[in-house]
Structure 1
């Protein structure tokens, strides 16, 4: 189990990426080393946001996760049995530096991976879509309104 990249539950930050570095003999208690979380690049901005400072300070720390009390995350598949055990959500093995532009490429699609991908793309100033019509709704609405109401002054 050691070395598996997961997301650890957190009351304040919801999910934090980390690596399993130990487990109890029954597998119900895990020790997770927390990874660095993508955040503001500018140090002055980092100082203005207390929650971002706290996230930065958690990097490298270890926490114990009790799987019996942690949020249950079930693996879903066509042949999944009803007695699926609770586990921590896995990080994506093919993670790109800028996140996934198309969420269909995500290996493990769950709440933690979606939130972390959105965070990564936000802090890299990358839009969630590059579709011309989705990216420029105001210009589209303007041309539609012009046809409906005549020439806009």
Structure 2
């Protein structure tokens, strides 16, 4: 009887390891195909023209006022955001770490809000995207693939499977 329990436990461990490695492998593959590969192709095309190494496209980038304005705007927003975030967060972190006071748990919770909010915002976006009158259904109806909207998020939907 003991061997059967040990064998079952070993089998569960093997399945768990397989699922874990499978999940990690799938995640790495998705990141590679949807992040690393496209960026690599863009970078290769930026530096190579007809198989020859070149900087030909960069003067075009820097001479375009709209693109340069966008780049400088992004840099400015990044610098200002980093400065004000640091100005606010360092003192709050020091106060939270070094002192015990009434409302410390509330402050700790509020400090986590910026890290917790993005998944909720993403979920709201996905819900609007797949809603009955969302982008997916409107596009499919516009292209003539479907006549009436599909309830992607409904309780009987295959979307949840």
Both proteins in one fold, TM over 0.5: no
More relative contact order in 1 or in 2 (CA 8 Å, sep 6+)? 1
* Structure number having the greater helix percentage: 2
Structure whose CA Rg is larger: 2
Q: Which has the higher strand share?
A: 1
TM-score by length of 1: 0.23
